[in-house]
């Protein structure tokens, strides 16, 4: 192939993802009535969280309706108070991410001298939305088996599995590249693979939500799931923790044999058990949260470094030299946020995360035989090439309750991540030769040129000089609560996203693959089998180079129409304008106008008994 070509690979097809909804809150609403069933306007309703921060207060309108449209997920106590009536309180309300909980009150008359508190039962399900979602809170996360990253707890949700052959996390049968990951309201999905580019230690997680279907119009369509995580926040009390994780190779259990082709005869296979490498990992974890300004501003910060030490003892067959190779891998991860109750109607949050990984891809180490020897060329090692990576995210949110009937939400986010090599920033002209099969079967080949299957005369020439991605998210939406032919929650918004990639990655030089004693299938019709005296060979060099960006816009309108206190229709529509840019100037980009991508959303939720305990729901989109 000619030099300095760029490949339009799957990354190009995935690079244009319209902005996603920035869901970082939940809602509580309801109706206050008297003992006869008449609505009560002017009732003061207060939502207080013993574990979170700030107190929200509102007053019921002429229909007796109150609502808290922007509450942080957590445990709440809601109290309704009106002069001349007994105070009524509902405790232990577990509000999850994205939920709209319905809590109604019936206030009884009080005598002049008595003060009575009536405690109601807390609802456990959202009877207004049709999304199929499961939330996992921090107290549950602490007690279930899991890994170190937040994605390891997702399999606790029904219909979710971790399948390597499917590319990772499968939700309702979709592959691992069809999901969307959101951390603190910022989309952290890789533009190339569909996985999350941000590691988030489970120690810093307040809640993880897995939404598998029934998305509202504020979400772009996906055949997988939407995984949202919220990090912990500070409170009026200083709280912190410190601990460490440790693991080593001897704790991994008995080593299992693996199946491979016999190097000297690739038509046969064998089971082998290679020596286990000395390997240990130390991972301290510490966090701290508390008030900056009591009852106004709070902070939270968590730090999680990870130090892995990996060695391999090798004896090279060609020289008899015994060498020990090191493969250290270090990661530094810090997450921090500030939450502020700017006024009784305005709440803001800024969440940041910085991540650095050294030798993130691991070094190329010599392969091992069961006897501890290696058939690879001793001159190729040690390989000095390493891959470092960075991932930084910054997300901000402002929620403003303008009036009891109007709520405004604004989000801004910036994500950047990069993978780069620490050596060799220019392409090389050195050819690399690899063996597919062994050439021992040909006596005419000189002995000094005979090698086993898998032989290579140079290390892999693939280099990540740079592969820097960027995502800027802007989201503005407004919600209006109206009463006409039932109750309506009308929400409309605009979403802007700028995506970019500056890349120079791939093979530095062509690779000649020698397929010994084998035939190649042609593309003729019908196909033929062809070969030379010793087999066949291929020459290939693939890399990607370019600097591209795209601006995408999404518009949505949705309505939650509650007809009779039990049936809610969720109706919505969204449209997206997006461009799929090309890394190669000679190839045109693909563009879709708003009219090209119109997506309707239809759904319903029915409170079966009217008590918030059972619901039937369904959706189409």
Range with lowest mean pLDDT among 47-56, 427-436, 474-483, 564-573: 47-56
* b/e sequence 424-441, b meaning 16+ C-beta within 10 Å: eeebeeeebebbbbbbbe
Name the band, by pLDDT with cuts 50, 70 and 90, for residue 119.
low
Which pair of tokens denotes residue 552? 């995408």
Contact 500/549 with Cβ under 8 angstroms? yes
Query: What does the pLDDT look like over 233-265, one tens digit per residue?
Result: 998 889 999 999 999 988 888 888 888 888 777
The closest alpha carbon to 211, from 399, 473, 23, belongs to 23
Task: Kindly report the number of other CB atoms within 10 A of residue 135's CB atom.
Answer: 21
From CA 269, how far away is CA 39, in angstroms rounded? 79
Model confidence at 4: pLDDT above 60 = no
From CA 82, how far away is CA 107, in angstroms rounded? 8
The pLDDT score that the predictor gives to residue 116 is 54
Place of tokens 């959706």: 619
Model confidence at 449: pLDDT above 50 = yes
Contact 46/88 with Cβ under 8 angstroms? no
Which pair of tokens denotes residue 156? 């606790």
Model confidence at 18: pLDDT above 70 = no
Range with lowest mean pLDDT among 2-6, 39-43, 227-231, 290-294: 2-6
125-135: average pLDDT:
82
Stronger pLDDT, 420 or 605, i.e. the higher one: 605
Which region holds residue 486: left if phi is over 0, alpha if psi is between -120 and 50, else beta?
Answer: left
Contact 516/437 with Cβ under 8 angstroms? yes
Query: What does the pLDDT look like over 327-337, one tens digit per residue?
Result: 888 999 999 99
Asked if residue 382 has a cis previous peptide bond (ω within 30° of 0), the answer is yes
Model confidence at 2: pLDDT above 60 = no
From CA 616, how far away is CA 607, in angstroms rounded? 7
Task: Kindly report the number of other CB atoms within 10 A of residue 379's CB atom.
Answer: 11
From CA 479, how far away is CA 327, in angstroms rounded? 53
From CA 157, how far away is CA 102, in angstroms rounded? 24
Output the DSSP codes for 326-372: E--EEEEEEEEEEEEE-SSSEEEEEEEEEEEEESTT---PPP--TTS
Output the DSSP codes for 365-402: PPP--TTSEE-S-GGG-S----EEEEEEEEEEEEEEEE
Model confidence at 277: pLDDT above 80 = yes
Calculate what percentage of the chain has a pLDDT beyond 70. 90
Query: What does the pLDDT look like over 339-352, one tens digit per residue?
Result: 998 887 888 999 99
Mean pLDDT, the chain, whole residue set:
84
Which region holds residue 138: left if phi is over 0, alpha if psi is between -120 and 50, else beta?
Answer: alpha
Name the band, by pLDDT with cuts 50, 70 and 90, for residue 10.
very low
The pLDDT score that the predictor gives to residue 392 is 95
Model confidence at 177: pLDDT above 60 = yes
CA atoms within 13 A on the CB side of 503: 28
Stronger pLDDT, 302 or 77, i.e. the higher one: 302
Name the band, by pLDDT with cuts 50, 70 and 90, for residue 316.
confident
130-146: average pLDDT:
85
The closest alpha carbon to 396, from 302, 511, 282, 475, belongs to 475
The pLDDT score that the predictor gives to residue 1 is 36
The pLDDT score that the predictor gives to residue 21 is 46
Strand partners, 494: 476, 555
Output the DSSP codes for 502-528: EEEEEESS-EEEEEET--EE-SSSS--
The closest alpha carbon to 397, from 385, 408, 387, 412, belongs to 412
The closest alpha carbon to 132, from 159, 156, 111, belongs to 159
- This prediction's pTM: 0.79
The pLDDT score that the predictor gives to residue 122 is 62
Give me the torsion for CA of 75, 229, 182, 102, rounded to 10°.
-20
Name the band, by pLDDT with cuts 50, 70 and 90, for residue 16.
very low
Name the band, by pLDDT with cuts 50, 70 and 90, for residue 422.
low
Segments of 430-589 assigned E as strands: 432-436, 462-483, 487-507, 511-516, 520-521, 529-530, 535-540, 543-562, 567-580
């Amino acid at each position: 192939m000619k030099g300095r070509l760029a490949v339009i690979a799957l990354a190009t097809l995935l690079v244009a993802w319209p902005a996603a909804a920035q869901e970082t809150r939940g809602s509580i609403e309801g109706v206050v009535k008297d003992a006869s069933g008449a609505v009560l306007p002017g009732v003061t309703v207060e939502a207080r969280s013993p574990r979170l921060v700030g107190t929200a207060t509102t007053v019921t309108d002429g229909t007796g309706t109150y609502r808290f449209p922007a509450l942080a997920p957590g445990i709440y106590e809601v109290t309704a108070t009106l002069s001349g009536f007994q105070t009524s309180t509902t405790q232990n309300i577990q509000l999850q991410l994205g939920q709209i909980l319905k809590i109604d009150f019936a206030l009884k008359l009080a005598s002049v001298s008595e003060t009575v508190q009536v405690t109601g039962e807390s609802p456990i399900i959202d009877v207004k939305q049709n999304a199929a979602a499961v939330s996992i809170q921090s107290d549950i996360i602490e007690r279930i088996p899991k890994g170190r990253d937040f994605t390891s707890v997702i399999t606790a949700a029904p219909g979710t599995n971790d399948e390597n052959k499917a590319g990772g996390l499968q939700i309702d049968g979709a592959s691992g590249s069809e999901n969307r990951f959101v951390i603190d309201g910022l989309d952290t999905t890789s533009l190339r693979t569909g996985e999350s580019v941000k590691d988030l230690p489970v120690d810093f997680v307040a809640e993880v939500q897995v939404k598998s279907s029934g998305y509202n119009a504020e979400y772009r369509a996906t055949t997988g799931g939407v995984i949202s995580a919220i990090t912990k926040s500070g409170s009026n009390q200083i709280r912190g923790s410190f601990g460490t994780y440790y693991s080593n190779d001897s704790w991994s259990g008995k080593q299992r044999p693996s199946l491979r082709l016999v190097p000297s005869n690739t038509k046969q296979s064998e089971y082998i058990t290679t020596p286990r490498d000395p390997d240990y990992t130390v991972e301290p974890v510490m966090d701290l949260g508390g008030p900056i300004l009591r009852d106004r501003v709070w902070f939270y910060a968590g730090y999680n470094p990870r130090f892995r030490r990996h060695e391999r003892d090798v004896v090279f067959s060609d020289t008899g030299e015994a060498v020990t190779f090191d493969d250290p891998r270090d990661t530094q991860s810090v997450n921090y946020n500030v939450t502020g109750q700017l006024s009784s109607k305005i709440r803001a949050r800024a969440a940041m995360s910085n991540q650095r990984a050294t030798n993130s891809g691991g070094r190329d180490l010599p392969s091992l035989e069961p006897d501890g020897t290696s058939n690879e060329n001793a001159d190729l090692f040690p390989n000095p090439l390493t891959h470092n990576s960075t991932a930084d995210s910054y997300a901000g949110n402002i929620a403003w309750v303008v009036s009891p009937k109007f709520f405004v939400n604004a989000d801004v986010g910036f994500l950047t991540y990069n993978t780069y090599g620490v050596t060799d920033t220019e392409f090389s002209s050195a050819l690399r030769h690899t063996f597919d099969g062994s050439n021992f079967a040909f006596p005419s080949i000189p002995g000094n040129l005979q090698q086993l299957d898998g032989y290579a005369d140079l290390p892999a020439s693939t280099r990540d000089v740079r592969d820097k991605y960027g995502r800027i998210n802007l989201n503005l939406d407004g919600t209006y609560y109206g009463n006409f032919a039932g109750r309506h929650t009308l929400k409309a918004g605009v979403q802007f996203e700028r995506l970019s990639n500056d890349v120079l990655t791939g093979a530095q030089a062509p690779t000649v693959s020698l397929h010994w004693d084998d035939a190649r299938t042609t593309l003729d019709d019908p196909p033929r089998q062809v070969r030379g005296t010793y087999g066949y060979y291929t020459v290939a060099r693939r890399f990607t180079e370019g600097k591209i960006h795209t601006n995408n816009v999404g518009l949505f309108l949705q309505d939650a129409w509650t007809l009779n206190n039990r049936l809610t229709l969720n109706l919505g529509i969204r449209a997206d304008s997006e461009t799929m840019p090309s890394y190669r100037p000679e190839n045109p980009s693909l563009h879709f106008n708003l009219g090209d991508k119109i997506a309707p959303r239809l759904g319903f939720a029915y409170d079966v008994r009217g008590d918030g305990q059972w619901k039937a729901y369904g959706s189409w989109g």
